[in-house]
Amino acid sequence: MNDPHLNLDHFWMPFTANRQFRGKPRMLVSAKDMHYTSDDGRQVVDGCAGLWCVNAGHNREEILSAIKAQLDTLDFAPTFQMGHPMAFKAAEKVAELAPAGMSKVFFANSGSESVDSALKIALAYHRARGEGTRTKFIGRERGYHGVGFGGISVGGIPLNRKVFGGQLLPGVDHLPHTHNLREAAFSRGQPKWGSHLAEDLERLVALHDPSNIAAVIVEPVAGSTGVLPPPVGYLETLRAICDKHGILLIFDEVISGFGRLGTPFAAQYFNVTPDLICCAKGITNATIPMGAVIAKDFIYDALMNGPEGLIELFHGYTYSGHPVAAAAAVATLDLYRETGLFEASRPMHAAIADAAHGMRELPNVIDVRNIGLIAAIELKSREGKPGARAYEAMVKCFERGVLVRITGDTIALSPPLIVGQSHLDEIFDTLGDVLRTID
Ligand SMILES: Cc1ncc(COP(=O)(O)O)c(C=O)c1O
């Protein structure tokens, strides 16, 4: 770290080994397009779009100027029983990108809040229709849905739940995860094995009875657990079973939304339309925090039933549709559309897949997975030290000018959608060299 006067004692860092970090801090001080600059003046190519969120690359002038203009005009206005134009414009832009029939947008401030909001909307929907016994949720092992109590309850990442285990939501069950190295290692794109795992939903429905189940929530592509593309036919089976039993299907698209798979949402890529979509991150290109739930019209309509003067949903955040976030969203979604970014990034899908699968013979690599502009390289864990090998790889990559994300012993790559072949070469050449050097 360069600045000896910077006091590291007070910021309690999230999802970080705080004491280890303070021993050897890694500081980013500015960014532009595909690169960060570290505090010692090095260029660091961004292999993970920040945290899967800077989809159009860093510090895009079009978005920054819209944010500055909004700050000069209206810093804040409430959206409880009041409105301001930018929130309506942002909702319209989000709805334009959503699958047909999903035109209602509820704003939150993060992915975690969007998940909590979607779960609550599902409960409110069933109750409004006189099916208030539908209160259970089905998540999936290894699922990540943020860190609210709702999200960790339906989520399936053991360490995210362990310490808080006594206080999770009751009435939650989990589908099995789809990770299986014996059957599907080194699959390119969607694994052919595993769609039968979706049929487990029938077992859970029989166990709990459909009349008690509100919704199923999954990430169409599981990200934070280490990148698990859905097996061929898997999402279609979930959709069919939900339809059969009147259960809502929620896609958590916090990382797959806004072009990660070359389409606005994974729903369009897989041609499976859920009832609710959770999104965040790329909605503002990560400039200003914002999350959203996109709902099918019938869900909204079911809640618009009581007397007109009645608040239909007792839920919302002070900053739902915050003017500056809304301005950032409008500018971001315009930028995506005007530059044709999602379509333009598609040729890089094969390039990242080729580069990632080119790593398969390197030491300790036990799987490579990819889909859209996402790739993951799973390493064999060191005996008794899960995560240590990937952590070492991450630090060495950073020292050599490449930012990668790790989760357990999986290295996940999800560069901004503006990534070019030369960036991929740099990322994978560096990663390959690093993997050859660590034991
Ligand atoms: C699928 C998914 N859901 C929810 C979240 C939580 O989002 P946030 O960190 O903005 O609360 C994330 C974050 O990575 C995510 O990947």
| CATH number of the domain encompassing residue 419 | 3.90.1150.10
**Distance between terminal CA atoms of the chain?**
27
| 334 Cα to the center of ligand 1, angstroms | 23
Quick check: 246 pLDDT over 80?
A: yes
The mean per-residue pLDDT over the stretch 45-61 comes to 98
Look at residue 87 in the predicted model and tell me its pLDDT.
98
pLDDT digits (tens, 9 = 90+) for 300-330: 999 998 899 999 999 999 999 999 999 999 9
The mean per-residue pLDDT over the stretch 133-152 comes to 98
Among 281, 310, 340, residue at a domain's last position: 340
Is the CB of residue 407 below 6 angstroms from any atom belonging to ligand 1?
no
Are 92 and 224 contained in the same domain?
yes
Mapped onto helix, strand or coil, the DSSP state of residue 192 is coil
Q: What's the structural domain count of the chain?
A: 2
Tokens standing for residue 238: 């979930």
C-alpha 397 chain-centroid distance: 23
In a domain, 2, yes or no: no
Is the CB of residue 256 below 6 angstroms from any atom belonging to ligand 1?
no
* Ligand 1 pocket mutation pick from 13, 16, 154, 255 by most atoms within 8 angstroms of CB: 255
Looking at residue 284, which CATH number applies to its domain?
Answer: 3.40.640.10
Mean pLDDT estimate for the chain: 97
The mean per-residue pLDDT over the stretch 189-211 comes to 98
> CA triplet 267, 273, 279: central angle to 5 degrees?
55
Q: Which atom of ligand 1 is nearest to the CA of 223?
A: 16
| 437 Cα to the center of ligand 1, angstroms | 33
Is the CB of residue 282 below 6 angstroms from any atom belonging to ligand 1?
no
- Tell how strand 365-371 and strand 374-379 pair up: antiparallel
pLDDT digits (tens, 9 = 90+) for 65-82: 999 999 999 999 999 999
Quick check: 403 pLDDT over 90?
A: yes
Look at residue 4 in the predicted model and tell me its pLDDT.
87
Quick check: 211 pLDDT over 80?
A: yes
pLDDT band at 166 (very low <50, low <70, confident <90, very high): confident
In a domain, 4, yes or no: no
Q: Which atom of ligand 1 is nearest to the CA of 112?
A: 11
Range of the domain at 433: 18-60+343-437
In a domain, 11, yes or no: no
Beta bridge partners of 140: 175
In a domain, 71, yes or no: yes
Are 23 and 93 contained in the same domain?
no
Are 40 and 138 contained in the same domain?
no
In a domain, 12, yes or no: no
Are 333 and 349 contained in the same domain?
no
Helix axis angle, 347-357 relative to 421-437, nearest 10°? Answer: 10
The mean per-residue pLDDT over the stretch 242-256 comes to 98
Are 295 and 350 contained in the same domain?
no
Which residue has the CA at smallest separation from atom 8 of ligand 1? Answer: 111
Are 351 and 413 contained in the same domain?
yes
Among 313, 340, 367, residue at a domain's last position: 340
Look at residue 165 in the predicted model and tell me its pLDDT.
82
Look at residue 354 in the predicted model and tell me its pLDDT.
98
Q: Which atom of ligand 1 is nearest to the CA of 224?
A: 16
Quick check: 1 pLDDT over 80?
A: no
Is the CB of residue 112 below 6 angstroms from any atom belonging to ligand 1?
yes
What is the percent of the chain where pLDDT is above 70?
Answer: 100
Are 169 and 286 contained in the same domain?
yes
In a domain, 100, yes or no: yes
In a domain, 190, yes or no: yes
Q: Which atom of ligand 1 is nearest to the CA of 291?
A: 10
Look at residue 2 in the predicted model and tell me its pLDDT.
80
Tell me if the pTM is above 0.85. Answer: yes
* Measured distance CA(439)–CA(431) in Å, rounded: 14
pLDDT band at 368 (very low <50, low <70, confident <90, very high): very high
| 14 Cα to the center of ligand 1, angstroms | 13
* Measured distance CA(15)–CA(200) in Å, rounded: 32
Among 322, 340, 358, residue at a domain's last position: 340
* Ligand 1 pocket mutation pick from 112, 283, 410 by most atoms within 8 angstroms of CB: 112
- Tell how strand 104-108 and strand 291-295 pair up: antiparallel
Are 112 and 258 contained in the same domain?
yes
Is the CB of residue 145 below 6 angstroms from any atom belonging to ligand 1?
yes
* Measured distance CA(314)–CA(79) in Å, rounded: 13
Are 70 and 54 contained in the same domain?
no
What is the identity of the amino acid at 128?
A
Q: Which atom of ligand 1 is nearest to the CA of 281?
A: 10
Is the CB of residue 155 below 6 angstroms from any atom belonging to ligand 1?
no
Nearest Cα to 335, choosing from 109, 86, 103, 60?
A: 60
Which residue has the CA at smallest separation from atom 12 of ligand 1? Answer: 146
Quick check: 95 pLDDT over 90?
A: yes
Are 78 and 180 contained in the same domain?
yes
Q: Which atom of ligand 1 is nearest to the CA of 113?
A: 11
Task: Show Cβ contacts of residue 330 under 8 Å, excluding neighbours closer than 6 positions.
Answer: 66, 86, 89, 90, 93
The mean per-residue pLDDT over the stretch 115-133 comes to 98
Are 117 and 235 contained in the same domain?
yes
| 135 Cα to the center of ligand 1, angstroms | 23
Is the CB of residue 217 below 6 angstroms from any atom belonging to ligand 1?
no
Quick check: 167 pLDDT over 90?
A: no
Look at residue 426 in the predicted model and tell me its pLDDT.
98
Are 22 and 90 contained in the same domain?
no
In a domain, 3, yes or no: no
365 neighbors 390 (Cβ within 8 angstroms): no
Instruction: Give residue for tokens 């021993």.
Output: 23
